[in-house]
Chain A
């Protein structure tokens, strides 16, 4: 029972991170039908920029909390600029190209960003500076830390903020209108280019936050870390129904829980043949099962609802 509770907590934390990253995929897909495979790399750069900025400031003697906030700010801004730049440079010229072209470009951008990161930060694992005090709690036999609590809270607040933006503001309404019918949204005076740029910028900001959470949680980072994280977050977005915000959030949390519970019990289930380091297979099992039986995902929007 305590394993169960423990893995639920771990799954919630991991799931909150997946959800934030999945939102970046789903916002861009919802508006322009593009899967931005470079999004995982944006997250990675968010982590690495924080390491550099916060690490430098801590070394310079700044209190950890301010160094962390400065790292967060710079990292979010850098990622927003990066998301905007990606769209401007890599995807906008391909707006009217066949669907496969921007997809391949996205994979290309992912490789480019990984290599740029390798040149800047090197090939080795980097230590993420401890930005939060390591306080631990116990509840019903399960352990959790302040970092975990903060990750879940911050991501819940961020997602609440995003829902407010999309469903209660004029920009959000324009984004929803554009995703449903870009040509008519443009007739209403919506500058489609701006809405698309906004989707990239907001998604990248969420990605940067997720990147900082990953760094704080695992205390380690690497120029290739965005690949697997991106792939899993993409799986979460597909699980929830790609293009659907609530779907990405729920898909992320669910995927985190499935992985954590899978990792917790895989040893028992296989009689010790497979250990918890096989947890990655669960994400991809989920992806395969969703694509086989319900490709539109949990909240997937049916096609052909355009009147």
Chain B
């Protein structure tokens, strides 16, 4: 479904991502793990067109999307939940969710989806009219995921959904991510919490200094001595 070939991302002269190639199949949850600064977020941003790729190609559903206008990505079916949540702080919870459905105009279905999001995250329903900036970090993460799902994407890109959250909240968020995946959503997940990411996903890629150094089934990566030493603290 998503084919990334030889993707490069550079900031000025500095190469953040050096020609990586990977793919995500339909209905799969794939984890991209690695240390801080390995180039995971840059990869995701380049796929979502927040950043321009310095080279290489991204194909989504057979279509080349490497250079299309950023605001068209969501109509192609790719929704990014950005690092640090990126909720609109002075829009209400309901308005943030409505922004997720910005490109849609099927009002009845949007209303259904809104109820579905409130079903996933009852906390958001309680805070419907509150400004998003007043929510806790965990609630903002819920909102960011709900907002991305409101576009009815074919694929969800998740950038560090566990970042800065209390363990209990992380657990809640991942329950929803797994539930969404179980409904057939294709997901590319970036995490520093490698254990959690590999436990939740089917396949994984390990990134180091802008390159993919290891790949395989998540269960096998979890048992890999190198991964255990470098990322699982064993």
Contact = CB atoms under 8 A, between A and B. Distances in A.
Given A176-B90, A306-B89, A307-B89, A188 B82 contact: no
A176 B140 CA distance: 18
A134 B161 CA distance: 66
A174 interface: yes
A183 B45 CA distance: 11
A306 B86 CA distance: 8
Contacts of B87: 184, 307
Contacts of B80: 187
Contact of A188 (B50, B132, B135, B151): B151
Interface stretch (A10-18, A70-78, A189-197): A189-197
Interface string A154-176: 00000000000000001001101
A21 B90 CA distance: 24
Contacts of A279: none
B70 interface: yes
Contacts of B102: 170, 173-174, 188-190
Contacts, number: 80
A185 B99 contact: yes
B72 A305 contact: no
> In which size bucket is the chain B interface?
20 to 34
A191 to B, nearest CB: 5
Contacts of B214: none
B121 interface: no
B89 A305 contact: yes
A305 B71 CA distance: 24
A299 to B, nearest CB: 12
Contact of B82 (A170, A177, A187, A190): A187
B71 A191 contact: yes
A101 interface: no
A131 B46 CA distance: 57
Contacts of B50: 183, 186-187
A306 B140 CA distance: 12
Contacts of A173: 91, 95, 98-99, 102
Contacts of A183: 50, 82, 86
Interface in A291-307: 301, 305-307
A192 B71 contact: yes
Interface string A118-154: 0000000000000000000000000000000000000
B71 A180 contact: no
A181 B82 CA distance: 12
Given A173-B95, A187-B48, A188-B99, A307 B85 contact: yes
B91 A176 contact: yes
A82 B99 CA distance: 30
B174 interface: no
Contacts of A174: 99, 102
Nearest to B84: A307
Interface in B74-98: 74-75, 79-80, 82, 84-91, 95, 98
B143 to A, nearest CB: 10
A176 B90 CA distance: 8
Nearest to B79: A187
A16 B75 CA distance: 42
B111 interface: no
A254 B84 CA distance: 40
B15 to A, nearest CB: 21
A300 to B, nearest CB: 13
A63 B157 CA distance: 63
B65 interface: no
A177 B100 contact: no
A303 to B, nearest CB: 12
B75 A189 contact: yes
Contacts of B133: 305-307
A177 B99 CA distance: 8
Interface of A: 170, 173-174, 176-177, 180-181, 183-192, 301, 305-307
Interface of B: 48, 50, 69-75, 79-80, 82, 84-91, 95, 98-100, 102-103, 132-133, 135, 137, 140, 147, 151
15 contacts: A170-B102, A177-B91, A177-B99, A180-B90, A180-B91, A183-B86, A184-B82, A186-B70, A187-B50, A187-B73, A187-B86, A188-B74, A188-B100, A189-B71, A307-B135
